Amino acid sequence: MIMAFDIGNTTMALGVYQAKKLIANWRIKSDREKTPDEYGLILCDLLEHEKLSSRKIKGAIISSVVPPITPVIEQAVEKFFGVKPLLVGPGLKTGIPILYENPAEVGPDRIVAAYAAYKKYRGPCLIVDFGTATTFDAISAAGEYLGGSIAPGIQISAEALYLRTARLPRIEIKKPRAAIGRNTVSSMQSGLYFGYIGLVNQIINEVSAELQAKPVVVATGGQAELIASDIKAIDHFEPNLVLEGLQLLYEKNRPGDKK
């Protein structure tokens, strides 16, 4: 079994693969204050809850956009599982040419998602990752990472309204009954929900025009389930896209593999 870690700004997605099958997955808070021992105990408890033995973890791979947490998870994996994890970054083979002006600026999770989507659907494709930020990543028909867009996530947008105004409350983000709100909460929900659909649709349209083709649009990320079903341009919802990409990249780069 191998363990995959997708460390995001707000949450960390974890998955255990046996061969190519995802047999367990969780999402926990990304906490910069936790020690390797604390994370190690959490990981062991999660495995035990699913009746999986930590002794059967034979490998691990990490994608992280939170540098302070990366070495903490590395140490936890080495201490509790006895394996040295692979890190997504320079030196890891992906097979995807990155055409960004500065490839080092591209978040590892974006490359992993692009790799998984292209392997599954080929190109051109567009990955929309609804996380703390919402990212849009375009892949050419030839499998090249072209770049994309970064927008505030819908949760960040809601928090900004609450924090930067005197009278607007903190609200639950959900689909409103109508676009015309009859009170402050429903008016905010309308603006956030339908406004965000408009944002996503417009970026998809602009990217499609630049690609001069209709890309396969793949949605993923912690906030995707909330809104993706109302965006008709989205072709597929893949909640575990980054975990799938991590498993594929582990197989491509596993220790002793000469490929």
Q: Which listed residue (6, 31, 109, 235) is catalytic?
A: 109
Asked if 6 is an active-site residue, the reply is no
One DSSP character per residue, 112-170 reads HHHHHHHHHH-SSEEEEEESSEEEEEEE-TTS-EEEEEEEE-HHHHHHHHHHS-SSPPP
pLDDT on residue 258? 45
Residue 7 confidence (pLDDT): 96
The pLDDT of residue 259 is: 45
* Ordered domains of the chain (ranges, CATH): 2-87 (3.30.420.40), 103-245 (3.30.420.40)
Give mean pLDDT in consecutive 10-residue pieces for the chain, a chain of 259 residues.
95 94 96 97 97 95 96 98 94 91 92 95 94 95 96 94 94 94 96 96 96 95 89 95 96 71
pLDDT (0 to 100) of residue 256: 63
HSE-up of 80 (CA within 13 Å, CB side)?
23
